[in-house]
Structure 1
Amino acid sequence: MLKPTRVLDLALNVVVAAAVAWIATRFAYSSFPSISVAAGASLLPVAAIEATLGFAIRAKIADEQIGDGPGQMHPINVARGVALAKASLQVGSLAAGVWLGFLLWVFPQRGTVTAAATDSPGAVVGLLAGSALVAAALWLEYCCRAPEDPTDDPATT
């Protein structure tokens, strides 16, 4: 049985990726290309698509429109949504961790290193975009859950 992603696992991804990125940035920052806001925002369209997909799947499940008939969403497409969410949770948490580690080194350097001041906005946007992808993927994963089966117990009053 596939279980929902644990937030603790995502937090561990962020911490490990941040540590690796901080070390890499500390030793190799001078060889990094400049960071634009567009580079940081690259995950935002994916997050928007996943959030929208979550609403669409949730509506189909609520309307009992999951099946293989006309106008219904095939169950395999819901399973694909779960797979997309699971993969995006990993990508988003690792990306957020990398941007966080980069920011932890760059942000204090803004006053002394001109490039650090220029790179900070793109890195902040990247951190927010990675976090937005995690939020959208958690939403999509939540929306793909099967509805609760009705119990066989008679109703009690």
Structure 2
Amino acid sequence: MRPVNRRDLLVLGAGLAVAAWLVVRASYGSLPALRWWLPVPLGVLAVAEFLGTRTLRARLAAQRDRRPPAERGTAPVRPVEPMLVARLAVLAQASAYVGAAFVGIWVGLLLYVGPSVSRLQAAANDTVTGVVGVVCSAALVAAALWLESVCRIPPSPDDETPQAGARA
């Protein structure tokens, strides 16, 4: 499994920003009101991934250090199942792409409503929604990329030695 390419995330976000700007420009008057809490579920997911990543990192570090189950009053650390790490890596990749897509959508909205704040009454509230959306979506991308980096397997010493009969 290859790590997420940051360039792919940027291209996805930029492409959807342009597409969202075109859609909002063409149909802004007929869009329903955008409430500030619409992007909050992305922020909740970002917080959940951040907290889960912190816990996973501690468990993996304890497992790599081969610490005894309980050290000086600390709670025992459960071993981490490899399939759990693989599933979390897939979740991280999916979350990174979803977050990048929503960053692009919210930026596209902001590109239209930002300059229109002085002449459109609804644009002020939609600007707040767009800013909350960009922040929550960017937080999801950051949490997902951190989770993906924690799920990486460090290279083992056996990986560096060439196998017998293998060509260089």
Q: Distance in 2 between matches of 1:145 and 1:118?
A: 41
Query: Bigger shift: 143-152 or 101-110?
Result: 143-152
Q: Give the structure 2 partner of residue 118 of structure 1.
A: 125
Q: Verify the 8 A CA contact 2:15 2:104 in the aligned structure 1.
A: yes
TM-score between the two structures when normalised by the length of structure 2: 0.83
Q: Give the structure 1 partner of residue 95 of structure 2.
A: 88
Pairwise mapping of residues 66-105 of structure 1 onto structure 2 (< 5 A)? 71-105=78-112
1:147 positional shift: 2.2
Identical pairs, percent: 36
Q: Distance in 1 between matches of 2:96 and 2:120?
A: 33
1:40 positional shift: 2.6
Q: Distance in 1 between matches of 2:123 and 2:107?
A: 14
1:97-141: CA deviation from partner (whole Å, max 9, x where unpaired): 000001001110111110111211011000111100000000000
For structure 2, list consecutive stretches of 5 or more residues without a partner in the other structure: 65-76, 162-168
For structure 1, list consecutive stretches of 5 or more residues without a partner in the other structure: none
Q: Distance in 2 between matches of 1:49 and 1:22?
A: 30
1:38 positional shift: 0.8
The number of equivalent residue pairs is 148
1:43-82: CA deviation from partner (whole Å, max 9, x where unpaired): 11100111111112212221127xxxx9322111101100
Q: Verify the 8 A CA contact 1:40 1:124 in the aligned structure 2.
A: no
Q: Distance in 1 between matches of 2:154 and 2:48?
A: 23
Q: Give the residue type in structure 2 aligned to 1:108.
A: P
1 or 2, which has the higher helix percentage? 1
SS across alignment from 1:73: coil
Query: Bigger shift: 37-46 or 80-89?
Result: 37-46
Q: Verify the 8 A CA contact 2:20 2:108 in the aligned structure 1.
A: yes
Q: Give the structure 2 partner of residue 140 of structure 1.
A: 147
SS across alignment from 2:63: coil
1:9 positional shift: 0.6
1:41 positional shift: 2.1
Q: Distance in 1 between matches of 2:117 and 2:140?
A: 27
Q: Distance in 2 between matches of 1:45 and 1:6?
A: 24
Q: Give the structure 1 partner of residue 22 of structure 2.
A: 23
Q: Distance in 1 between matches of 2:106 and 2:99?
A: 11
What is the alpha-carbon root mean square deviation over aligned residues? 1.6
* 1:106 maps onto 2:105 in alignment: no
1:42 positional shift: 2.3
